[in-house]
Amino acid sequence: MTKIVDLYFGAALDESRGKGSLSMNELLDLEPRMLEAEKWLQKGLRDNLEGFGWLGLPFQDPGPILEQAEWLSVFGSIIQIGIGGSALGNRMLNNALLHPYYNELPREQRKGPKFFIADNVDPEGNHAIWDMVDPEDTALVVVSKSGSTAETMANFMFFFGKMSAVMGTQVALERVLVITDPEKGTLRPFSGETGCRSLEIPQGVGGRYSVLSSVGLLSAASMGINVRELLRGAAETSALISGTREMAGNSAWIAAGLYYLHGLRGRSMDVFMPYADGLENFVEWFAQLWAESIGKDGKGFTPVRALGAIDQHSQVQLYTEGPDDKLFTILDIRKRRQDIRIPGTEHGALVGLNYMKDKNMSEMITFEARSTAAALYRFGKPVLWLELPELNAFTLGGLIFFYEYVTALTGYLLSIEPFDQPGVEQGKKYTYGLMGREGFSEQAREAEELFAGILKQKVSL
């Protein structure tokens, strides 16, 4: 098997660091619980239980997705309408594997349509997307398992209404593809009634675990991303994790164990800091995965998003000399797709900068990452160091599946359900009520009463 990621954890497991340090024996003592967690996950997959379906995604046949992606690829623009897991995963794939200014490239330099995500219900943002597309050369992809997500359906009605006004409802429907539950919800009967194209979100797959399903793979394939390689990387990662039944050799078990044990020692914030612009949205995706999966029942750890080397100049002061309440994960890439050799200078005022002359920028950003990790360790802060051999579809697929697995294991160690999100559901119910949805008037009343309490005290500038 091809190497996907290396995990170095010496700076997160050091008995000499005093208060809050961990020993290797403490980590190894978690092995019986990890074996239980592995059985729990595999049983959930076998029994088709809700929430466990993501475990089977690496082994799916992407044929139906690729067929629809071929249809999508001829359009000038795609607007994907979804929120949370129906948007963050797409951004993450594009950020990691496409040109950073993909939409601005001439058509002949792109492998597919321009791509826009309508997730928030900000009218200015939605009007801005509409300003950027040609309605007659645009496809709409609407993603919602239930078909009742208020933000998604409001945005869909806006864009579908605008397209219908330009070309008529029937022609507009020929440019719509829905991704939804195979059997139930609002969008499944809509697809049946209208005859618009559709794909399924597999049974048992929740939104934040759905990026390796049609939710993320459809748009990726339409823009030339190799989704078979994404799935291959995830499948090999799955085999490596499930095939290693000893704590000392299982990187996912070790990572989950360290997140868990450091959390018990009061390090309730997990800072994820990749040193690559292409992984900035990976951290956005991870933040939802981590927060929604393990933040419940009064438990959980807060994800903190950072990007190296940028946030060395905005956050690292706090990280080195602030409270010892964080576990740091720093991610570096050994081989980058492009490089820059830094030129020298003959200008007298700048000659002191020639220590960088003929050095590679890829070398510099790696030194930045190592320096941050070393500085954190010097100040007694725990650090996990991850290295990807390179960033491509194969390694990204593996990294995605690795962190989905680590998240599920951490939830198990915390004795919580990592596949639901009851706190989110309450906010949805309040929104339904305030927007006048039938059957939610009591929720509207409760929300108004609670918000009135927020407004009891006021001061203005």
The full set of domain ranges for the chain reads 6-43+229-344+354-413, 55-227
Closest of 46, 414, 38 to residue 204, by C-alpha: 46
What one-character DSSP code corresponds to residue 47? Answer: T
How would you label 249-270 residue by residue, b for 16+ Cβ within 10 Å and e otherwise? ebbbbbbbbbbbbbbeeebebb
* Coil/strand/helix, residue 212: coil
311 neighbors 368 (Cβ within 8 angstroms): no
* 39 vs 45: CA distance, rounded Å: 10
Q: At residue 352, what is the residue type?
A: G
pLDDT band per the 50, 70, 90 thresholds, residue 16: low
Active site residues: 292, 313, 428
Kind of pairing between the strands at 6-8 and 114-118: unpaired
State pLDDT tens for residues 394-439: 999 999 999 999 999 999 999 999 999 887 788 888 888 888 888 8
- Segment holding 93, helix H or strand E: helix 88-97
Superfamily of domain 55-227: Glucose-6-phosphate isomerase like protein; domain 1 (3.40.50.10490)
Cα gap 219→223, rounded to integer Å:
6
Distance CA 180, CA 147 (A): 7
What's the confidence (pLDDT) of residue 333? 97
pLDDT tens-digit map of 373-388: 999 999 999 999 999 9
Mean pLDDT of the chain: 94
What does the pLDDT read at residue 447?
87
d(CA 39, CA 70): 39
Q: Judge contact between 22 and 11, C-beta under 8 A.
A: no
pLDDT attached to residue 427: 84
DSSP string, 340-409: -BPP----GGGGGGGGGTT-BHHHHHHHHHHHHHHHHHHTT--EEEEEEEE-SHHHHHHHHHHHHHHHHH
- Residue 176 pLDDT class (50, 70, 90 cuts): very high
Helix axis angle for 393-413 and 31-46, nearest 10°, is 110
Decide if 6-43+229-344+354-413 and 55-227 have a common fold.
yes
User: How confident is the model at residue 15, as a pLDDT?
Assistant: 60
pLDDT per residue as tens digits for the range 251-309:
999 999 999 999 999 999 999 999 999 999 999 999 999 999 999 999 999 999 999 99
Q: What distance in Å separates the CA atoms of residue 99 and residue 105, rounded to the nearest whole number?
A: 9
In the three-class reduction of DSSP (H, G, I as helix; E, B as strand; rest coil), residue 158 is classed as helix
Each residue's pLDDT tens digit, 64-112: 999 999 999 999 999 999 999 999 999 999 999 999 999 999 999 999 9
For the chain, the straight-line distance linking the first and the last C-alpha, in angstroms and rounded, comes to 62
- The two tokens of residue 216 are 């993320």
Closest CA to 330 of 274, 280, 398, 395: 274
The fold of the 6-43+229-344+354-413 domain, in CATH, is Rossmann fold (3.40.50)
Percent of the chain with pLDDT over 70: 98
* Structural contact between residues 395 and 334, judged by C-beta atoms closer than 8 angstroms: no
Range from 176-185, 334-343, 348-357, 407-416 carrying the lowest mean pLDDT: 348-357
| pLDDT tops 60 at residue 19 | no
pLDDT at 147 over 90: no
Tally: H helices and E strands in the chain: 17, 10
